Amino acid sequence: MVKIGPNYDLGVAFPRKHLNDDEHLVVDLHPHWIFLAPSVVALIAAVAIGIAVLTLTDGTTENVLRIIAGLLVLAALVWFGVRYAKWLTTEFAVSNHRVMSRWGVLSKHGRQIPLERINTVEFSQSLFERMLGAGDLGIESASDGGREEFTDIRHPDEVQREIYIQIRANVDRPAAGGAPAMPTTAGSESGSVADQLTKLDELRRNGVLSEAEFQAQKARLLQA
C-alpha cells in the first residue's frame, strides 16, 4: 500500500528546494510500476527468444537467427532503460498549497495547480488497475489549463481524498485579514459569493466538510 499523508514515509522524489518556506508535502510519488510493465514483458520475451535460439540452433544459417535474437534483446533492453529513466524522473506531489508534477529525462517540464483553484478531483480505475492499486486522476480547475490528466497514479482514490483534505485545510486557513481563505475562480481573484458557495457545497458533498462546517463557512460568506 502506498504511504500517503504527513504521517507516512514519502517517496522523497520531489525536490524540496522547489517548496516554499511554509510548504510541506503530503503526497510524493513516482508513477505506479504498471508504467514499466510493457517494457518488462517485452524484455522477458526477448530474452526467452534469445535463449531458445541459442539452445535450439547450430550452424551458419542459425548464426543469422542468433544475431537477430541478440538485436531483439538489445532493443528490448534499450526500451526498458528509456522507460525506467522516464519512471525515475516523473514525479507527482501534493503539498498543503498545490498539486505538482515534474517529468523529463534530458529536459525538465512541470505543471502545478493551486489548491484554491481546484474545482473537482476525479479518479478512474479498470478492474485490473484496481487489483494492482493503480489508476488515473483528473483535476478540473479554474486555471488556464482547465482539466489536467495524471496517469498511472498509485492508489488514486487515496490521493483524491488527500487532495480534498488539503483543500479543506486551505479553506479553513485564516487569511491575513482574519477571514477564512476561500477558493478563487478564473474570472476574479476572490471569486463571487455564489462561486464560493458552490465550491463549499462540493466539498460538503465529497465529505471534506461536515454539515456544521459548511453552514459556518456559508454564514461567514453571506455576512461579508
Average pLDDT of the residues in 167-193:
54
Q: Is the residue at 166 inside a domain?
A: yes
> Which pLDDT band holds residue 10 (cuts at 50, 70, 90)?
very low
124-162 confidence digits (pLDDT tens): 999 999 999 999 999 998 766 678 899 999 999 999 999
CATH of the domain at 130: 2.30.29
Residues 176 and 134 in one domain: yes
Bigger pLDDT: 18 or 139? 139
Domain count across the chain: 2
101 is written with which cell numbers? 508534477
Q: Is the residue at 3 inside a domain?
A: no
State the residue for C-alpha cell 463571487. Answer: 192
Residues 58 and 112 in one domain: no
Which of 11-20, 141-150, 196-205 has the weakest average pLDDT? 11-20
Residues 40 and 122 in one domain: no
pLDDT at residue 176 is higher than 70 = no
Q: What is the pLDDT of residue 78?
A: 96
Q: Is the residue at 134 inside a domain?
A: yes
pLDDT at residue 11 is higher than 60 = no
Express as a percent the part of the chain with pLDDT over 70.
78
State the residue for C-alpha cell 542468433. Answer: 66
> Which of 65, 87, 109 is the last residue in one of the domains?
87
The boundaries of the domain holding residue 155 are 16-31+90-223
Mean pLDDT of the chain: 80
> Which of 61, 87, 113 is the last residue in one of the domains?
87
Is beta strand 98-103 parallel, antiparallel or unpaired with respect to 134-141? Answer: unpaired
Residues 99 and 189 in one domain: yes
Q: Is the residue at 155 inside a domain?
A: yes
Residues 81 and 175 in one domain: no
Residues 192 and 95 in one domain: yes
Residues 182 and 211 in one domain: yes
Residues 155 and 189 in one domain: yes
Bigger pLDDT: 67 or 197? 67
Q: Is the residue at 5 inside a domain?
A: no
Residues 111 and 213 in one domain: yes
Q: How many CB atoms lie within 10 A of CB 59?
A: 8
Distances (CA, A) of 33 to 3, 9, 85: 15, 18, 13
